[in-house]
Amino acid sequence: SLVMDTPDLKYFYITDYSGDSCLIENMPRLNFVCIDGEHFHDIDNLLRPLSTVSTLEFSLSHEMAVCCSTIKFSQLTKCEISPCDSNFMDSLVLLLHS
């Protein structure tokens, strides 16, 4: 697992296809996040601290959409989504609701 505590970080790119866990803590200046990977062990611990980012890019899986639907991205101004499968509309609607 990986735990990150970097208060001055502004841009964060993560690519992970291992399924291991990743926890983000204390990143108040984070503006841009790009998540490449479909399966994270505890996606909630990865995404919840990102609720204040202005730009978010990620691959849309149903698991990611369910998690994102419980988080309010209050400062999000740009979001780029790459669907993981051909039946992504239900997941997209769930995500856009929040």
Specify if 97 maps to a domain: no
Specify if 98 maps to a domain: no
Specify if 94 maps to a domain: no
Our CA angle for 89, 94, 96, nearest 5°, is 90
Count of structural domains, the chain: 1
Specify if 35 maps to a domain: yes
Specify if 58 maps to a domain: yes
**What distance in Å separates the CA atoms of residue 72 and residue 61, rounded to the nearest whole number?**
18
Instruction: Kindly report, residue by residue over 28-83, the tens digit of the pLDDT.
Output: 888 999 988 666 667 777 788 888 899 999 887 777 777 777 888 889 899 898 88
The residue range of the domain holding 43 is 2-88
Specify if 59 maps to a domain: yes
Q: Which residues contact 67 (CB under 8 A, 6 or more apart)?
A: 43, 44, 47
Question: Pairing mode, if any, of strands 22-25 and 55-60?
Answer: unpaired
Instruction: Kindly report, residue by residue over 54-67, the tens digit of the pLDDT.
Output: 999 988 777 777 77
